[in-house]
Structure formats: structure tokens, C-alpha cells
Amino acid sequence: MLKFAIDYQDKINSIWREVCHEDKYKFFQVSTFRGDLVNISEFSTWRELNYASLDKDGNVLGYISYDCDRTVLMKASKFTAINLSDNKLEFGKDIQTAIDDIFLKYNFNKLNFGCVVGNPVEKTYDKLVKNMAVESLERIPMRYFS
């Protein structure tokens, strides 16, 4: 279930600080910098929408956000989704709800998002793009140096 993230930002950030250096999150931020995920100074849904993904008991599963361009373009961009739990099924349902909301509830015409090449979820994004009959997925190259 999706709830506004402003009510859960301390919990989301606390979980993120515990897990941010785990290997499975290396594709989320493409640098070694780690900062808080959620930094909402005031509640407003005009420029961006920020959600906490919760299980049926109210535990935080993850974080979903996107910027809103409510001009004539009516597009959502910078779509961000990070699963902070091992509950892929419930979090996946929340991602689908968020995407449905973008087009059906908020009536946006376009969704822009990217994915780091090599991210295990890249194949899922490719299927999403194919099923939605959209132009393409922006791929962000990731380089490792030793």
C-alpha cells in the first residue's frame, strides 16, 4: 500500500542508512556518495510525489517518487523506486499502482525514467517498456575502477 512518504521519511532514511552500502544497492546511486533518500521540507504534491511502500502491518517496504511537470507537457520524470525489504511481490504491486496512478489518477501523458546498465531489474524495466508501448528506456552506463 502506498502512503505519502513525508509521514515515513525518518523510518525510510533510517533503513536506508543501515543498508545503503550493501552490494544489492550499488545500482541505485551511481557514485560512492550516500545521502538520505527522503528530504521533504513541506508537504506538497505540485512538483513531486513521494510515497512509502508499506506492507499490511505498516512496515516500510520501500520508497517510490517522481517529479511532476503539470504544464502543458503533463509528464512525470525522475521516477525512483527502491525496495528496502525482501518483499518483492508487495513492492512490485506498489510500483504498478504508482505507474497506474501516473497515467490514470493524475492524467500524465508521459513517464521518463532511467536504469543503470547491469542492474538486475533492467530486464523487468525492458518488459515494462515493451508492455507499455513506449519509446525506450534510458540506460545509464556504470563504470567501476580499481
Q: Domain range holding 51?
A: 2-113
What total of structural domains would you count in the chain? 1
Helical spans, DSSP H, in 51-119: 88-100
Domain membership flag for residue 135: no
Q: Is residue 136 part of a domain?
A: no
If we measure between CA atoms, which residue out of 49, 50, 68 comes closest to residue 5?
50
Q: Is the pLDDT of residue 6 over 60?
A: yes
CATH number at residue 8: 3.40.630.30
pTM of the model: 0.84
SS3 content of the chain, % helix, strand, coil (to 5): 30, 25, 45
Query: Out of 64-68, 81-85, 101-105, 140-144, which region has the weakest mean confidence (pLDDT)?
Result: 140-144
CA distance 107 to 48: 14
**Does residue 8 sit within a domain?**
yes
Q: Which three cell numbers stand for residue 42?
A: 513541506
In a domain, 77, yes or no: yes
